[in-house]
Amino acid sequence: MCLAIPGQVLTIDNLSDPYNRTGRVRFGTIEKTIHLSYTPEVEVGDYVLVHVGFALQRIDPEEAERIWEILREMEELHDLETADDPPS
């Protein structure tokens, strides 16, 4: 099953090039660089749904928490909540 996972945007790079815009996004204890070109409206602090390294849409914090709860109930967050590596 393919899922879009909610994460919080921590930083945004390439502000001058909307086609190559990336940012650091936090998912539980993991941070990853994500492509933000599909979501030009996103700002630092926003929550986004991410699938295969691309932010698909901005969501509100309450929706992000609801999705995390559903994923916890489905036991789909083990890799994100028990990561050995600290966030970079």
Domain boundaries, the chain: 5-81
| Structural fold of domain 5-81 | SH3 type barrels. (2.30.30)
**pLDDT value at position 88?**
35
Reported pTM: 0.80
**Segments of the chain with pLDDT less than 50:** 82-88
**pLDDT value at position 25?**
97
**pLDDT value at position 1?**
54
What count of other Cβ atoms lies within 10 Å of the Cβ of residue 13?
A: 12
CA–CA distance, 70 with 66 (Å, rounded to integer) = 6
**pLDDT value at position 78?**
60
Q: Which two tokens stand for residue 17?
A: 């090039």
**pLDDT value at position 87?**
40
What count of other Cβ atoms lies within 10 Å of the Cβ of residue 9?
A: 22
Beta strands in the chain (DSSP E): 5-13, 22-27, 30-35, 47-51, 54-59
**pLDDT value at position 69?**
86
